[in-house]
Structure 1
Amino acid sequence: MVEKVYLLRHGHIDNGSEKKYLGKTDVPLDVLGLEQARLLCDYFKAILVETIFTSPLTRCVQTIQPLCEDKKKHYHIVNAFCEIDMGDWENVPMAYIQSHFPKLYAQRGENLEHFTPPNGESFHVMAKRVRDAFDAITHHANGTILIVAHAGVNRMILSQILGIAINDMFSIEQPYACVNELTWDYQSMQWIYRRVL
């Protein structure tokens, strides 16, 4: 079984000046994000990592590539770690949705966990695929592993571990290129969490 998990958010991306619903839209790292990827590589130089897993989206793969090259390791793509599918709202400014679809916008705010954007998925559905993948990996891999994913994916994992409701998940800060450390405690039989970067 896995004894330690380093759960990373991908590096910085250029999402424009307007806040948008950016889920599975595949965008690359920007210049700052590429620099953060190099800094993460430096951070993990002295840490023995057995296996590396990543979301298939470019911003995650680019984040982990410098570390994989440095450690001469391959990464494993986990499709379940893809960010939430925002459907018709993908890459659309939040202000546009609020002004053109005020009832739907309000419904999302009232029931964040179960609201489903048109042709998208809810956080409830996303949580199941993410948690199932996390549980399968941590039960079948060994030693120390590293997972590179997204703010939404990380919050799904951490909300379960910390006992935080999905509707309150935004209380879990996940800035670009952050590093969460999960250590399995055999006495309590649960994950011990701290954010290390």
Structure 2
Amino acid sequence: MIFLLRHGRIKDHETKRFIGATDVELDPMGIDQALYWKKAFSSLNFEAVHSSSLQRCTRTAELIANDKKIITSPALNEIHMGKWDGCSFDQIKQQSAKEFEKRGKNLDTYKTPGGESFHDTSCRAVPYFKDCATTLKNNILFVTHAGVIRVILCHLLGIKLADLFQIKISYAQLFVIQPDLPS
């Protein structure tokens, strides 16, 4: 089985902002969420644990995996929001209203200044995921971000990237996937 897990809740999660490549820590609830999954997964033996290289994911993976080696890859990192990274939605709406609107109309292809699009994210995350998943013999865990999980699920389910926000994802939400992946 393939397990896709979003990292636990982060510090300062209350402010709606573009986090992307900003390296933020888990908050106490996020740590508790990871410990919940550690207990829930206790009877599973993961063949591999893959994680984004950002600390909110690596910490989640470390809390779950015990002594199991964690393979980190920037291919699983969240979409890079460039100059918008770390800024609140309100701040971007005020400073770059037209660009914010363009992004909303072209979610799949719009690149923030100095950043990447969801198409770019898909082009790095999906091949990495597929490569890891095709070598599967037993259970495999991916600890990553909402944006990455969305682009992977869009690929697997045949959903257009422009519609990726139809997939709602909470902190520490788990998706379980059968290993017979489409190409």
* TM-score where L is the length of structure 1: 0.88
SS at match of 1:184: coil
Whole-angstrom distance in 2 between the partners of 1:16 and 1:58: 15
Q: Which residue of 2 aligns with 1:128?
A: 123
Q: Which residue of 2 aligns with 1:97?
A: 92
Q: CA RMSD in A?
A: 1.4
SS at match of 2:24: coil
- Which residue of 48, 63, 77 maps to 1:82? 77
SS at match of 2:8: coil
Q: Which residue of 2 aligns with 1:54?
A: 51
Letter in 1 for 2:123: K
Q: Which residue of 2 aligns with 1:14?
A: 11
SS at match of 1:21: coil
Larger Rg: 1
* TM-score where L is the length of structure 2: 0.95
SS at match of 1:50: strand
Matched, 1:140 2:135: yes
Q: Deviations over 1:111-132 (max 9, x none)?
A: 1111110000111111110011
Q: Which moved more, 1:44-53 or 1:10-19?
A: 10-19
Gaps of 5+ in 1: 192-197
User: Percent sequence identity over matched residues?
Assistant: 34
Q: Which residue of 2 aligns with 1:194?
A: none
Deviation (angstroms), 1:80: 0.3
Q: Figure out how many residues of one structure are paired with residues of the other and give that number.
A: 183
Q: Deviations over 1:53-92 (max 9, x none)?
A: 10011011111112221xx311111110000100000010
Q: Deviations over 1:94-138 (max 9, x none)?
A: 111111111101100111111110000111111110011111111
SS at match of 1:20: coil
Distance 1:138 1:151, change over 3 A: same
Gaps of 5+ in 2: none
